[in-house]
Amino acid sequence: MQELSSCRCGMVVAPHHDASRAGLEVLREGGNAIEAMVAAAASIAVVYPHMNSLGGDGFWLVAEPGKPPLGIEGCGPAAALADRDFYRDYASIPSRGPLAALTPAGTVAGWELALQQSRRWGGRLPLTRLLAPAIDQARDGIRVTRGQAALTAAKLEELRGMPGFADHLLVDGEAPSEGATFRQPALATTLERLASAGLEDFYRGELGASMGDALEALGSPLRRSDLAAFHARQVTPLSLPLANGRVWNLPPPTQGVASLMILGIFERLCQRVGRPEAEAFDYVHGLVESTKRAFVERDRYVTDPRWMTLEPGALLLDERLNRLAAGIDRQRAMPWPQSGEPGDTVWMGCIDGAGRAVSFIQSTYWEFGSGVVLPSTGVVWQNRGISFALDPDARQALSPGRRPFHTLNPALARLDDGRTSVYGTMGGEGQPQTQAAIFTRHALYDQPWQAAIEAPRWLLGRTWGEGTTSLKLEARWPPALVEKLRQAGHRVDLVDSYSDSMGHAGGISRWPDGRLEGGADPRSDGSVAGF
């Protein structure tokens, strides 16, 4: 895969090349970064149905030159009926099926709020234009990717009995084969309805009423009133100063603070012992140990902010980060594991010719979410609410109106050399780790985005496709480094040389002279596109 580094008018990166192209075409027609991202977001919901959907949640970081970035939280809270009494016959919330569909889908509301910001930027492209590529892809069919074919086959026995799954996501009762044409006519009709009636219809129109009634009929605690009451929110991103710039991420209930903490702890470790050589033992060990400290703090405190016992920004104070860095042993691994969260997600980025930047992530949580596909709409509904616990004393205790913990956390940076960068990945527990790897390679060690993304990665704990909590290394790492990590006490497992479990990452930077540089992950079906 070739890096893209000579464009100036706009650039998009997505984990599927058709979504990248949908965004790029909008940029070519004079659209801005937000308009391009809405087109890409609708497209990716069609061409990557195993990873995301209109029935999932979404988060944005949006920035224009000279102004602070803003965040958009498209995260549905627990339904009004979703309480412990509703699940009284269960020890935990079922992970699949209608009972797993207990939070409104927030991503479409996030698109609407982002487009309001786009109009303040002078954006004028109509919604019919932005959704047109996705409508065509759903109506005419997409080419089934290796990932869609393999993941559908892997989850077939678990999901084939879920309401609507076989009718909308299988072909003659079986997983679609790689390279086959896959059509989603009901989803095309839904997108056409949104294009003509507006995105609000998903919540407070005929479409929202239809979906709410369908969910109720299937046995979900969601009702049309939950959809009608939901609105995406603008939020203030968390940020952290670094020696060479500043980084931003989303506040709780996302794990964005953990992504920032890893970078802050690692920087302080480098200040104490010196910056390690890139890709050497001290580099990998230092970031893994920083991850462990950040995850312990995340799991102790992060939830819906209304239930947190401290302000999220307190986790980024110098005193705390200094203390956590001081506790790292340069030669020995901290005992592990902690519990982890899997997740299926797409991250996408865009920077337009005026330097306006978007870092965006959209997810159904697990692959195919709840597995429920609403019959008349073709919308796969998320299962994000299964991160709630039925134990009233748990950190993530279920309560109506409470927002679930989110692994989603798009990132953005402004560096002292004038670069603006957007970057991110899918991968549940692996998102903060992959962000740390690709950002440090690009921003600290001056690797081009493509090299930083292609380089071998690591993963501590569970994530998409992996159930163990060991330190997983792609097989391309030098054997001597692998052995040194084992000798330091890391429980190491080797995985494929380009493993899906490491996430599907991407990044774009705009340099002070207006030049755009980007990279896409060879572990995905994606591309970076620009002009």
Residue 5's pLDDT is what? 64
Beta strands in 253-379 (DSSP E): 344-352, 357-365
Q: Which residues are catalytic?
A: 345
Calpha distance 371→6 (Å, rounded): 42
pLDDT tens sequence for the chain (531 residues): 456 667 999 999 999 999 999 999 999 999 999 999 999 999 999 999 999 999 999 999 999 999 999 999 999 999 999 999 999 999 999 999 999 999 999 999 999 999 999 999 999 999 999 999 999 999 999 999 998 999 999 999 999 999 999 999 999 999 999 999 999 999 999 999 999 999 999 999 999 999 999 999 999 999 999 999 999 999 999 999 999 999 999 999 999 999 999 999 999 999 988 899 999 999 999 999 999 999 999 999 999 999 999 999 999 999 999 999 999 999 999 998 765 555 568 999 999 999 999 999 999 999 999 999 999 999 999 999 999 999 999 999 999 999 999 998 999 999 999 999 999 998 788 899 999 999 999 999 999 999 999 999 999 986 554 556 799 999 999 999 999 999 999 999 999 999 988 999 999 999 999 999 999 999 998 999 999
User: pLDDT per residue over 19-50, tens digit each?
Assistant: 999 999 999 999 999 999 999 999 999 999 99
Tell me the CA distances in angstroms from 397 to 72, 84, 277, 280, one per residue in order: 24, 9, 43, 41
For residue 253, whether the previous peptide bond is cis, meaning omega lies within 30 degrees of 0, is: yes
Q: In Å, what is the CA distance from 316 to each residue of 291, 339, 464?
A: 14, 22, 27
pLDDT at 428: 81
At 1 the pLDDT is: 47
Q: Which domains does the chain have, with CATH numbers?
A: 235-343+408-512 (1.10.246.130)
- Phi first, then psi: give them for residue 243, nearest 5 degrees: -60, -25
Closest CA to 289 of 254, 335, 253, 256: 335
Alpha carbons 530 and 508: distance in angstroms, whole number: 10
* Average predicted confidence (pLDDT) for the chain: 95
Identify the DSSP state of 93. -
pTM of the model: 0.96
Burial pattern 385-404, b for ≥16 Cβ within 10 A else e, equals bbbbebeeeeebbbbeebbb
For 300, 341, 397, 398, the CA distances from 392, given in Å and listed in that order, are 16, 20, 5, 7
Query: With b meaning 16 or more CB within 10 Å and e meaning fewer, what string describes 165-176?
Result: bbebbbeeeebb
The pLDDT of residue 26: 98
In angstroms, rounded to a whole number, what is the distance separating the alpha carbons of residues 520 and 426?
Answer: 12
From residue 45, how far is each of 50, 54, 379 by CA, in Å?
9, 6, 9
CB 170 within 8 Å of CB 160? yes
DSSP string over 8-25: -SEEEEESBHHHHHHHHH
The pair of three-digit structure tokens given for residue 6, joined into one six-digit string:
């000579």
Q: Which residues contact 100 (CB under 8 A, 6 or more apart)?
A: 93, 94, 369, 370, 371, 372, 383, 385, 386
